[in-house]
Structure 1
Amino acid sequence: MQLIDILNLISKVVEKSLSTEVFIALVAAYIGARATSKATTKAHNFSIEKSKSDNLENTQNTLKLIKAELTSAWDIYYSEYGSDLLQLLEGEACVDVFPIGDNPFPIYDSAPSSLANIDPAISANIVRIYMRVKGLISMININNADCQTIYDAGRNATQKLANKFIAEGKELNEELAKKLEEYHDYYAHQEAKKLRMDRTAYSMKLLTIELQNSLAIAVADIDRLTATTSH
């Protein structure tokens, strides 16, 4: 029923009992209420759409930051540590130290709400990557501590040998210095075997390979999600 039909119906019903002024006032009130209702509904719908748009933009920006955080961290890790780690032969220990800060992933630590807005399979992969990276960091820290242990042991053993040479009246020349350096490395590697650092290195290698593959998938997913809705 159109608005004019409703007004005609009201007019017929009330024309005998209401004055023209009262009838006009009722019609005006009805039209005003209807206009207000439409405006309220329109404003409400606009607010909902604006909220959705803001939420989508926030999610996109967070995903871009997550990508930057992961790829930057990976590039540093792989160039300074991971590539050499993967080249180790089976049974070899990793005797390099790789220092890591206390809070390496500030973006991820503040992003749970945004990850809840994307495909669960994609967010699950991103969460898994961070969990595996944190596991890798724990292993690296253990390996760093073991490296310090074997270096200290090698240095102490070398110092004792140097003191022995001095007591025997041997001159500390280039040849003797080279022998001491070789002894230090040999002793340190023997200590590494005692600490089974080769097992730590093997576990880190497996995690590095896994993360390399998972990260490639996550980056492709993030690029797709941020590209399809960027305009």
Structure 2
Amino acid sequence: MKIWSKKRMNLGSPDAYISLVSGLVGAFVGGFFTLKGATNAHKLALKKEETADRERMITTLMLLRTEIAGAWELFMEECGDELSKPAGGAPFLNILPVGKNPFPIFDSGPPALNLLPRELAKDVVHFYMRAKGLIATIEMNNHDYEQALQYARVLLINHAERAQKDGEEFPDEKHDQLFNGGVDFMAGQLGMGDTAEAIRSLAQELTPIVKRITTEVDELFFSLSDNQKRTN
């Protein structure tokens, strides 16, 4: 009976309670700082990820802007003046060289495309979809024009051989008139006037989109650059 009372008295001693409380406080403090450290690490990781996303977005924007502005400038240099004239159903008698992969940056599927502002991303996709349609129309026009030229060459050769056989003269004026007439005839047969109108229509649709994209990218780029300077 005395032994049991002694043990019970030892468990309820101040030293035992102090030891128990110290352990609990130590565990709480350790857990608190562990949680705080984990939270800070998570916040730091998110901040780094946001910074990386912003840098990828800026890089993607500038690359796409360069590709869009460069392609459009080249297109306008090649046929901008002619496309700005009244149509009148006239064919576009010109061959525009088109590479196998005219949009390598966009076609590479930039991973940061989904990071772009929504309206700007819509304009970018709109441009490339219409621009690819424009390229397909230009390629069709190139093919038809080659056919028209080939028809005119054959027509010219036949008339030249006939004139030589009959001993007739074949002056340069008649030569040019016959060749140009042959081109115009075959261009009309192939519907090149409608193709030219399709090119003109797509160019008119794309002009304001290109301007909007370049302007918005420049404004966004400078805004992001200023914010980055202020946070550094």
**Do they fold alike, i.e. is TM over 0.5?**
yes
CA contact under 8 A between 1:64 and 1:222: conserved in structure 2? yes
1:120-199 mapped onto 2 (5 Å cutoff) = 120-170=118-168, 176-199=171-194
CA contact under 8 A between 2:87 and 2:197: conserved in structure 1? no
* Cα displacement string for residues 133-163 of structure 1 (whole angstroms, at most 9, x for unaligned residues): 1111111011001001100000000000111
CA contact under 8 A between 2:91 and 2:193: conserved in structure 1? yes
Structure 2 partner of 1:87: 85
Q: Once superposed, what is the RMSD of the aligned Cα atoms?
A: 2.2
Where structure 2 has 5 or more consecutive residues not aligned to the other structure, the ranges are 1-11
* Percent of pairs with identical residues: 28
Aligned residue pairs: how many? 215
* Cα displacement string for residues 155-199 of structure 1 (whole angstroms, at most 9, x for unaligned residues): 000000111121123466xxx234212211111111111111111
Matched residues in 2 for 1:160 and 1:85: separation? 34
CA contact under 8 A between 2:96 and 2:142: conserved in structure 1? yes
Structure 1 partner of 2:222: 227
Matched residues in 1 for 2:113 and 2:220: separation? 12
Structure 2 vs 1, CA of residues 202 and 18 (structure 1 numbering), >3 Å: closer, same or farther? same
Where structure 1 has 5 or more consecutive residues not aligned to the other structure, the ranges are 1-13
Report the Cα offset of residue 217 of structure 1: 1.0
Give the TM-score normalised by structure 1.
0.84
Structure 2 vs 1, CA of residues 209 and 22 (structure 1 numbering), >3 Å: closer, same or farther? same
Counterpart selection for 1:51 from 49, 52, 58? 49
Give the TM-score normalised by structure 2.
0.84
- The residue type paired with residue 150 of structure 1 is A
Matched residues in 1 for 2:224 and 2:215: separation? 15
- The residue type paired with residue 61 of structure 2 is L
- The residue type paired with residue 216 of structure 1 is K
- The residue type paired with residue 191 of structure 2 is R
